[in-house]
A and B are shown apart, each in its own frame.
Chain A
Amino acid sequence: MTLATAAFGSVTLAHYLFVASALFTIGLVGFLTRRNLIIMFLCTELMFQGAGLALIAFSRFHANYTGQTFVVFVITVAAAEAALALALVVLLFRRRESLSAEEWRELRGGSSCTASRRLH
C-alpha cells in the first residue's frame, strides 16, 4: 500500500471524475460518428456508465448513499431503454433490411427527402 502510494500518488475524486467524463465523452463521440443503430445505442449505454461512475464516486467521497441509490435508477432506466430501443431496432430492421441510421433520414423532417422516400 505504501509502495503503491509512492508510485502512483493518491487517488482523489478528480481522478474518478476524469475517468467518468472520459467514458461519457467517448460514448458521445461514438453516438455521433457510428452509423449502425445498435452501436449507437451501445454508445448511450457507455454514457450511462460515465454518469453512474460519477454518482458512485460522489457517494464515496461525500460518505452518503444517495449516489448509490441513484445508480439503481440509472441501471433501471438503462434496462428499460435497452428493451425499448432493441424492440425498435428489430422493427426498423424488418422495414428496411438495414441497420443504417441514414435509412431513416426522413425523420429529420424537411420536404425534399420525404418526397423522394415516400415512393418506397
Chain B
Amino acid sequence: MDQLVNPFVLYGAIALGGVGVALALPRRGGSPQVLGALLAALGGVGVLALLGGAASDAGEALPSVYFYLFGAIALAAALRVITHKRPVYAALYFILTILSSAGLYLILSAEFMAFALVIVYAGAILITYLFVIMLATQAPVGGDTSVLAEYDRAAREPVWAAAAGFVLLAGLTTLLFSGARTLAPTGNPASLDLAALPGTIETALREDDLIGAGDKVVIEDDRAAIEYGAVQVERADGTVEEVELPADAAVSNTQSLAYDFLHNHPATIEIAGVILLMAMLGATVLSRRQVILEEEAKQAQMRALGGAG
C-alpha cells in the first residue's frame, strides 16, 4: 500500500488534536483552554513528525525550517481565532494566520500571490471586519469578560463539532496522502516559461549588449526557440545566428502569472470584475437605510423647491 503514514497512527494523532480543539473552545463556566491548546499542538506536531519521518527518503527537498515555523504559527493562530472569546482579538489572530500563510506562499515561490494576500486580506478585508466588530460589540475593560455577550462566551456543541472536524480531517488526510510519496517538486515553475515570453529574452539580451537595435529574437508558434541555453536571433541584415542567453535571464513570478492569466484564462479577469461589481452593488443596497418621507413633507418640499425656482 502506497500510504505515507500508517493510517491508524495518523488517526490517533488527529484525534488527539480534535480532543484538544474541543477542550479549547470557550464554554460556560470556563474551559481548560491551555490544556486543550497543548493537546491540539501535540496532535499537530505528531502528524508533522510522522510525515517528516516518512518523507525523509522521498526525494528532493524544499527548505523546511520556515515551513514548520510558518505552518505552526498559521495553525496556532487559526486555533486562537476560533477559541478566543473577544471578536476583536479573533480578527487580529486571523491577520496573524494570513501573514504566516503569505510566508508559506513565499516558500512555494508564489511571490505575487503572497503580497496580494497581505495587501487584500490583511489590509482591506480584515480592516472591514474590525470596523464592523467595533460597530457592533462592546469592548470589555481589562480582564473582565462578564460584559461580553453570552454568545461569545460559550460555544455551541463543541464536542460534536470537533468530532465532525476529526472525521473530515481524517478523511482528507487518508485520501490526500495515498500516493503522495511520489510527489516531489518538479523544478521551479518560474524557469519553465522563459520561452513563452520572447519579449523578456529580447530585453535581457539588449541590456547585456548582446544584440543591437535592429535585431530580433526568432519566434515560432508564439515561443522563442531556446536550445541548450541559446536563442536564435535574426540580425538587422537578415542573417540568423545563435546567441547565448545570459545566466540571469529569468522570468519573475509576476510576469509568468500575468502571462498565464491573460493567455490561458482571459475571461477570468472579466468574471472577477463582474463578481466584485455585483458585491459592491449588493453591499450598497443591503446597507442603505430606508428613509420614509411623509406625503405632506414631500408636498411641502415640492412647494418650497417650486417657489425657489
Contacts and interface: CB of A to CB of B under 8 A. Distances in A.
Given A33-B161, A87-B287, A4 B279 contact: no
The DSSP consensus for interface residues of chain A is helix
B53 A9 contact: yes
B188 A42 contact: no
A107 to B, nearest CB: 16
Q: Which are the 7 A-B pairs with shortest beta-carbon distances?
A: A30-B82, A10-B61, A80-B279, A65-B260, A32-B161, A9-B52, A100-B151
Given A21-B172, A26-B82, A61 B91 contact: no
Interface string A20-36: 01111111111011111
Contact of B283 (A27, A65, A83): A83
Interface residues on A, range: 35 or more
Interface residues on B, range: 35 or more
B132 A89 contact: yes
Contact of B55 (A11, A42, A99): A11
Interface of A: 1, 4-5, 7-19, 21-30, 32-36, 38-39, 41-43, 45-46, 49, 52-53, 56-57, 59-66, 68-69, 71-73, 75-84, 86-91, 93, 98-102
7 contacts: A12-B59, A14-B55, A42-B81, A59-B108, A73-B268, A86-B283, A90-B135
A100 B149 contact: yes
Contacts of B105: 53, 56
A10 B60 contact: yes
Contacts, number: 302
Contacts of A22: 17, 44, 75, 78, 169
A46 B282 CA distance: 23
B6 interface: no
B42 interface: no
Given A10-B60, A14-B180, A79-B279, A29 B129 contact: no
Contacts of B280: 83
Nearest to B120: A75
Contact of A32 (B56, B157, B184, B284): B157
Contact of A14 (B65, B79, B183): B183
Given A38-B129, A56-B110, A26 B136 contact: no
A63 B60 CA distance: 14
A112 B82 CA distance: 32
Interface in B240-282: 256-257, 259-261, 264-265, 268, 272, 275-276, 278-280, 282
Contact of B58 (A12, A19, A34): A12
